[in-house]
Amino acid sequence: MKIVYTDVLVIGGGLAGLRVAIGARRRGLDALVLSLVPPKRSHSAAAQGGMQASLANTVKGEGDNEDVHFGDTVRGSDWGADQAVVRMFVNTAPKAVRELAAWGVPWSRVRRGDREVIINGQRITLTESEQAHGLLAQRDFGGTRKWRTCYVSDGTGHAMLYAVGDQAIAHGVPVHERKEALALIRDGDRCCGAVVRDLASGELIAYVSRATVVATGGAGRLYRVTTNAVICEGMGAALALDTGVVALGNMEAIQFHPTGIFPAGILVTEGCRGDGGLLRDAAGHRFMPDYEPEKKELASRDVVSRRMAEHIRKGHGAASRFGPHLWLDITQLGRTHIDRNLREVKEICRYFLGVDPAEAWIPVHPAQHYTMGGIRTDASGQCPTLRGLFSAGEAACWDLHGFNRLGGNSVAETVVAGMIVGEFVADFCQGPDGEINVPTGLVRDAVAAQQAALDALIGGGDESADAIRIAMQQVMTDRVGIFRDGRELAVAVDELEALLLRSRRIGVRSEGPGPNPELVTAYRVQRMLKVALCIACGALARQESRGAHYREDFPRRDDAAWLQRTLATWPDPTATRPTLAYEPLQVSTMELPPGWRGYGERNHIEHPDTPARAATVEATQTAEQLSRHALQERLMPYRHLLPPSLRGDNDRLGDLPR
Amino acid sequence: MSDTRQINLHVFRHNPLDPASVPHLQTYQVEEAPGMTLFLALSELRERQDPSLAFDFVCRAGICGSCGMIVNGRPRLACRTLTQELPGDITLLPLPAFGLIADLSVDTGTWMRAMTERLQAWLHPADPTLDLSRIEQRMEPQLADEIYELDRCIECGCCVAACGTAQMRKDFVGAVGMNKIARFGLDPRDARSDADFYELIGGDEGVFGCMTLLACHDVCPKELPLQTQIAYLRRRMARAGA
């Protein structure tokens, strides 16, 4: 039996995982990253439009700061987020973007003087200040009150991933590529590594570690139509679920991005709309102002996707052989702007559609895009129910995004969570809880259990893994999508349950050494179905509409009954459904009590504690002459939750004497 | 429908870990669909005809560089290659110069990491002390755009697969490596001088090994200005080494 020992085992080589590993390495620990693919191929590279950080360099960002970013993020989440985590995030985001600048990311920069931009379909002139020249530029994104999204043309995730990937190499972090974790190794309530399959040789290897970090990204491939890379199959969530004790939070909170290219689902960035692009229907009519007069195309993603689906339902979609779609029109931005700031979009249109977006409209349709839920952790990234297990990035639910994530907050979250969780992982390893004492027999048993499961698949039953996977994806796209209702969801749960039972009878024909892609599909689809059931069961149980979770039979947000986080566990491996429990959010400690988001429906049911808390907050704001930091501290202290190195205030141009 | 085309995919098959495996081409028939890419064709083939076929796709949007392969004799990203642009017979081979994992799947990761370590292809900061609370250093907007132009490399390996020198010299850093040096050489945040870069690429495994066949430039999926960068670097290195 091959055993690899390390201090910190990071499962997932995207931005979050790499940044955690660098953080641990800098603290003198051995950190090792497992990755399905060469790490620079990770889905982080697909983040196009940018990363939110309240730098306020551009003239349209003036007045921006952590407070504004905080408010936008909480409203975007439809009050589902953990507000202390949001505060930790918005204070760290400027530090993260500046660290990346120092690591070589070629952020787009502010140019002094006049430039023409398109805002709300109108061509206007902005004048950038002399002082801002050469500092990081920001563009507009949905659901934000200031231009806050820092960007590298529209290859932001790529540039970030390459800088961080190269830093991981510079720091001597080993990345074991083409390795897939199949199970976490548990000793009672302590996680001590993972059983891993080598995807090139097929061999099983045990990795024993003091701390284990799951940073495996999202689960988009549970859906037939998704912007996600083919490796985003929710395997990190499944690892956690299979322990029986770790909970997944809010798995029903699934984001649909407004502008997936139709029908392939390939993403075109929100930056298209942020930079002035418009949505049009079959008749060429710009329809978003009819639904959302205030934010129009730049309401939050859940709202825009819902309005698009609604407009298509009313018969205004453009017809095609693959079904109806809408149009994204960026022609008015002009070729110069597209060539400089929307290069990937231009390439994607050229190669996949044969279209020049400077001249023709882009066919778009909402597509699954992001998993707000994930492995439930505390604000330090650690799982409360399994010591030594941490999670960061899209795989995690420390709960930055609640029920809807803002554009530009995910790629920001990867590096911010990496910075924060990396420190706490190091603290854990260097503290009294960091020691492990793992008998090799325990490790052997864990490996043997996985080997037995793989052996049972080879030459097993008569079910086809591919057929089951396609059926699951179709159920998720058809019945657990943008519009949900109780009847459809109940059918979805039944169908997924039947598929789960069938997946236990999958037979794999290919055998022998090597990658064996047929076997990979087989063991993954068994795991994917459990994650899919957490989404569908959570959605069926949640009888309200919040953020991206929209129930046509319960169209109002119901704070009185549902200001709660769903926790899904799978304690009995033979069960066919998860166990659901709920964790209430405390209105009495919120810095921003629940209210209207400023876009979308205005009809929520109030939580009984909201009026009292709102009065307290308002009284504090008006009665006392406090600086904004002191006021914030009075309302909801959070800095003690951050590692000491990340607690400082952030300097901005506007704070300096002009 | 009468106007749909049957395409013949001739796919390289070999499993190096299986002593019984002999490298060969296997032919599959796929019905062409509108907008079908090689990603869609191969995925459908694996879902419906042969679940054992090994290949690599990740983003399937031309962004991540996983799916470089030789398509009818030319290195390309398979995910954004439309079948309608190709004849009815399509031959798919794995990229040469990289270790073969199986079928169309090759190990670019080990090659790229070794190259990055050898060239120390990461930013070496001029000032390593950094206060993250302070306002960032300025950079001319035009220069940032120029650095990004070279930073767009996706390490797909097409330039290495197309390179005559790389087929003959295992230690040749390829256009991908030289482009990285050009990129850090352009970046004022990097403290290294041409003399430092000369130590890394001033030999036959670097700029002086290039035979100027320029296939790298022709096949680069990101249309990076590799020809210009290599020529420019060679002049600078000749000067630095003099």
Task: CATH number of the domain at B96, please.
Answer: 3.10.20.30
Question: How much is the mean pLDDT over chain B?
Answer: 95
Domain that holds residue B189: 120-241
Nearest chain A residue to B108, by CA: A38
Q: How many CB pairs under 8 A join A and B?
A: 214
Same domain? For B26 and B102 the reply is: yes
Same domain? For B71 and B161 the reply is: no
* CA–CA gap between residue A388 and residue A382 (Å, rounded): 7
Position B151 in a domain:
yes
For the beta carbon of residue A231, count every other beta carbon within 10 angstroms. 25
Quote the distance between the C-alpha of residue B210 and its chain's center: 17
End-to-end CA distance of chain A: 66
pLDDT tens, residue by residue, B126-178? 877 789 999 999 999 999 999 999 999 999 999 999 999 999 999 999 999 99
Same domain? For B35 and B99 the reply is: yes
Mean pLDDT in residue range B56-82: 97
Interface of B with A in 196-215 (CB under 8 A): none
Taking contacts as CB-CB distances below 8 angstroms, the residues of chain A near B51 are 465-466, 508-510, 517-518, 521
Taking contacts as CB-CB distances below 8 angstroms, the residues of chain B near A652 are 135
Same domain? For B156 and B217 the reply is: yes
B133-171: burial string, b at 16+ Cβ within 10 Å, e else? eebbeebebeebbebbbbbbbbbbbbbbbbbbbbeeeee
Same domain? For B147 and B47 the reply is: no
- Characterize the bridge pairing of strands A248-249 and A374-376: antiparallel
Residue B47 is inside which H or E element, if any? Answer: helix B38-48
- The CA–CA distances, whole Å, from A181 to A45, A63, A296, B203 equal 22, 46, 43, 42
- The CA–CA distances, whole Å, from A519 to A516, B49, B179 equal 5, 15, 39
pTM here is 0.97
Cβ–Cβ below 8 Å for A264 and B35: yes
Quote the distance between the C-alpha of residue A251 and its chain's center: 12
Same domain? For B73 and B142 the reply is: no
Out of A230, A321, A340, name the one closest to residue B58 (CB). Answer: A230
* CA–CA gap between residue B164 and residue A597 (Å, rounded): 60
- The CA–CA distances, whole Å, from B134 to A94, A206, A230, A308, B124 equal 9, 43, 39, 42, 20
Torsion region of A100: left, alpha or beta (phi above 0 gives left; psi -120 to 50 gives alpha): alpha
* CA–CA gap between residue A551 and residue A568 (Å, rounded): 20
Min Cα distance B164 → chain A (Å) is 25
Q: Which of B135, B154, B181, B183 is most worth mutating to test chain A (most A CB atoms within 10 A of its CB)?
A: B135
Choosing from B57, B77, B106, the residue where a domain stops is B106
Position B87 in a domain:
yes
- The CA–CA distances, whole Å, from A641 to A378, A388, A645, A647, B225 equal 10, 18, 11, 9, 47
Residues of chain A where predicted confidence (pLDDT) is lower than 50: 658
Residue B1: what pLDDT?
Answer: 46
Vertex A118: Cα angle to A114 and A122 (nearest 5) = 110
Same domain? For B83 and B146 the reply is: no
Mean pLDDT in residue range B50-57: 96
- A309's CB contacts (< 8 A; 6+ apart) are A366, A482, A483
Total domains present in chain B: 2
Same domain? For B182 and B75 the reply is: no
Residue A322: what pLDDT?
Answer: 87
Position B114 in a domain:
no
Strand-pairing partners, residue A389, are: A212
Residue A33: what pLDDT?
Answer: 98
pLDDT tens, residue by residue, B37-47? 999 999 999 99
Out of B17, B56, B121, name the one closest to residue A514 (CB). Answer: B17
Choosing from B81, B106, B131, the residue where a domain stops is B106
Residue B185 is inside which H or E element, if any? Answer: helix B174-186
Position B111 in a domain:
no
Cβ–Cβ below 8 Å for B18 and A101: no
Position B47 in a domain:
yes
* CA–CA gap between residue A141 and residue A298 (Å, rounded): 7
The residue assigned the tokens 């002049």 is: B235
CB A18 within 8 A of CB A411: no
* CA–CA gap between residue A509 and residue B232 (Å, rounded): 54
Out of A40, A102, A231, name the one closest to residue B130 (CB). Answer: A102
- B241's CB contacts (< 8 A; 6+ apart) are B198, B202
Q: Does B234 contact A at CB distance below 8 Å? A: no
For residue B165, what is the domain's CATH number?
Answer: 1.10.1060.10
Taking contacts as CB-CB distances below 8 angstroms, the residues of chain A near B101 are 178, 200, 514-515
Report DSSP state, residue A451. H
* CA–CA gap between residue A588 and residue A563 (Å, rounded): 12
Cβ–Cβ below 8 Å for B133 and A648: yes
Cβ–Cβ below 8 Å for A515 and B105: yes
Min Cα distance B111 → chain A (Å) is 10
Position B172 in a domain:
yes
Q: Does B152 contact A at CB distance below 8 Å? A: yes
Active site residues of A: 257, 273
pLDDT beyond 50 at B197: yes
* CA–CA gap between residue A280 and residue A326 (Å, rounded): 6
Taking contacts as CB-CB distances below 8 angstroms, the residues of chain A near B48 are 466
Min Cα distance A417 → chain B (Å) is 16
CB A516 within 8 A of CB B51: no
Percent of chain B with pLDDT over 90: 94
Position B1 in a domain:
no
Taking contacts as CB-CB distances below 8 angstroms, the residues of chain B near A100 are none
Cβ–Cβ below 8 Å for A352 and B65: no
Same domain? For B175 and B79 the reply is: no
Choosing from B73, B106, B139, the residue where a domain stops is B106
Same domain? For B124 and B230 the reply is: yes
- A478's CB contacts (< 8 A; 6+ apart) are none
Nearest chain B residue to A419, by CA: B132
Torsion region of A193: left, alpha or beta (phi above 0 gives left; psi -120 to 50 gives alpha): left
Nearest to A129 by CA among A550, A489, A658: A658
CB B7 within 8 A of CB B85: no
Quote the distance between the C-alpha of residue B29 and its chain's center: 28
CB A652 within 8 A of CB A55: yes
Residue B217 is inside which H or E element, if any? Answer: helix B215-219
- Residue A443 tokens, joined: 């490790």
Residue A655: what pLDDT?
Answer: 79
Out of A351, A510, A521, name the one closest to residue B62 (CB). Answer: A351
- Residue A145 tokens, joined: 């009150």
Same domain? For B140 and B236 the reply is: yes
Same domain? For B126 and B234 the reply is: yes
Q: Which residue type occupies A184?
A: L
Residue A143: what pLDDT?
Answer: 92
Is the ipTM, as predicted for this complex, more than 0.95? Answer: yes
Quote the distance between the C-alpha of residue A630 and its chain's center: 31
Cβ–Cβ below 8 Å for B135 and A135: yes
Position B115 in a domain:
no
Sign of the CA dihedral with A603 first, then A607, A608, and A613 last: negative
Taking contacts as CB-CB distances below 8 angstroms, the residues of chain B near A104 are 122-123, 184, 187, 189-190
The residue assigned the tokens 């009468």 is: B2
Cβ–Cβ below 8 Å for A137 and B141: yes
- A625's CB contacts (< 8 A; 6+ apart) are none
